[in-house]
Structure 1
Amino acid sequence: MPSRADIVTFHDPPPPPGEQRYLPGAGPWTGARVDEPDERWAQWYDVLAERVRGALGWRVLDLQHVGSTSVPGLAAKPIIDIDLVVADAADEAAYVPALEAQGFQLRVREPWWFEHRVLRHTDPRCHLHVFGPEAPEPVKHRVFRDWLRGNADERDLYAATKREAAEAARAAGEHSMQYNARKEKVVREIYARAFAAAGLVD
């Protein structure tokens, strides 16, 4: 289990010298797009979750719909973000081939960041984030999701921030990581309030 300190800390280490997070042929998406809320997003998660559980069975320690599409009423990019926790995210042989058979493709490998992997799916569109049990990110993502679900004012603030960031990123021809950087300040402010409400910080 992750420590409280790790949950409330924003870990963002750069790739070590000579390392790349994206596999050959992969990279950040461009043309930032934020859609109006869509009731189908929850249904898409159900479809994807069934495929993941069908592929991995009891190897799924936890599976959560996270990110903006998991918050009813929140504008979002039309890509389902899912956190998958397995016993050892570094042991790709234990889960990647089975997921590939269900249409997922490994696109990101970040062993320096809690052994994070990302597999992408195209129909429905999905980013499947894989972590081990010690990683704090799945806990952090659930805290943020649940806070937005329960606080309409925070949800609206985040929606406005996302739209503004997407418009600016498109105008500048920026990719997804630059889009994320544009909304980072507000995201961290929301996280701070969510952490405090959860009793994770004083």
Structure 2
Amino acid sequence: MTTPRPPRRPDVTTVEIVGGIEKRDLFLVDHDPAWAGRFTEHERRIRDALGPAAVQVEHIGSTSVPGLAAKPILDVLVTVEDITAEEDYLAPLLAAGYVLRVREPAHRLVRTPGRDVHVHVLEVGAPAAEDYLLFRDRLRSHPDERELYEQTKRDLVDQDWSDMNAYADAKTDVIAGIKDRARSAGAPEEPA
């Protein structure tokens, strides 16, 4: 086992939302099998831009779960060795056509100009990265959890939210419960 390298510099300590708060219309659509192909296109684009700096590129979020209704926004997880070494990943992602949306401690978010793909950049081994995968895999393998999460989203999506973050925050307790049950169950099962 290799020891992680120390960060090149201290990480940011504040949350910067480039462009400020955005109010967007939120809606769910039925799962679209084409989302997997769109992810593959963005995975290739990201790997071409970052080379070995992209340790892991994973399709996460609701669009990664067959059978789950979702906002038609793909979420992609990219892990890098050092989140503070933005020169290794941020400039190449911007050159590949993504735009910076969020810079916050331990997390960067870039997205497409059309705002239909969000790329979350985290460090290898970050608890948040592991949580994204744990949650995705639990929803893929447990139809009851998938139904609970979809119903929660349907109950919330029609409410008036100041921005997408407020909508996401409203799902926190349900998401935490699903992740807790996944941790209690141990290793992920094969998708149902």
Question: TM-score, normalized by length of structure 2?
Answer: 0.85
How much is the aligned-residue C-alpha RMSD, in angstroms?
2.1
Distance, in Å, in 2 between the alignment partners of 1:125 and 1:84 is: 17
Partner residue in 2 for 1:21: 16
The structure, 1 or 2, with the larger RCO (C-alpha pairs under 8 Å, 6+ apart) is 1
Partner residue in 2 for 1:132: 123
Partner residue in 1 for 2:49: 55
One-letter amino acid matched to 2:81: A
Partner residue in 1 for 2:167: 179
One-letter amino acid matched to 1:132: E
Secondary structure at 1:37 match in 2 = coil
Partner residue in 1 for 2:6: none
- Find 2:146's aligned residue among 140, 155, 169: 155
Unaligned runs of 5+ in 1: 2-14
Distance, in Å, in 2 between the alignment partners of 1:57 and 1:105 is: 19
Distance, in Å, in 1 between the alignment partners of 2:114 and 2:167 is: 24
Contact 1:44–1:124 (CA<8 Å) still a contact in 2? no
Distance, in Å, in 1 between the alignment partners of 2:163 and 2:59 is: 24
Unaligned runs of 5+ in 2: 2-11, 188-192
- The answer to whether residue 19 in structure 2 is matched with residue 31 in structure 1 is no
1:47–1:22 CA distance, 2 compared to 1 (3 A): same
Distance, in Å, in 1 between the alignment partners of 2:23 and 2:52 is: 32
Deviation at 1:124, TM superposition (A): 7.9
- The answer to whether residue 71 in structure 2 is matched with residue 71 in structure 1 is no
- Find 2:92's aligned residue among 93, 98, 112: 98
Q: How many residues align?
A: 178
1:78–1:29 CA distance, 2 compared to 1 (3 A): farther
Partner residue in 2 for 1:5: none
